[in-house]
Structure 1
């Protein structure tokens, strides 16, 4: 009988290696994502769990490939408290780079800022 020695990651008809490669692609996508910190550490963990039967004749092998990715960078904005909006309610308005309606040097016009919808519970 000829031996066909393989690595454990080549077992399961290549499914283990396929899972590792799938998670590795996720790591690469996360590294290339401009919304993440470029120097953040990423992790790929492969866990192999071996469960032999009572006679020690067969071993069930459970493989999990798991990634720990860098979170996306926080999104930052600023709000102004605009006081009452005529109804006695406080209004928060998002800060915009220019005065609404003002034309910029490139010819674009600044849109009106978004107002935060404030819901009060009784």
Structure 2
């Protein structure tokens, strides 16, 4: 795979992993003050942007905007499943896996559609 095509994928994977931790990690410590949770999430989001912005800049040379957005959404949902499983022990059920399969089918259409 061409590095110009791979870098955005890796950066978006890292970006979405960090962002999902920012969105949901504070739920592990529900007794902490809300302002602490917000500041911690903002701190993580700062580093997430250091990956997301370059991913989109580099990716726009190789992918269409629709492809980049689709990639971001697939990464967001995939990394959410990882965060939910690792941090909270929440394994995906059959309906969630079926939903992910449908999303993957949609992503395939965005990337391979003859209509595009």
For Structure 1 versus Structure 2, the TM-score category normalised by the shorter chain is: under 0.3
Q: What's the TM-score once normalised by structure 1's chain length?
A: 0.26
| Structure having the larger proportion of residues in helix | 2
Higher relative contact order (CA 8 A, sep 6+): 2
Structure number, greater radius of gyration: 1
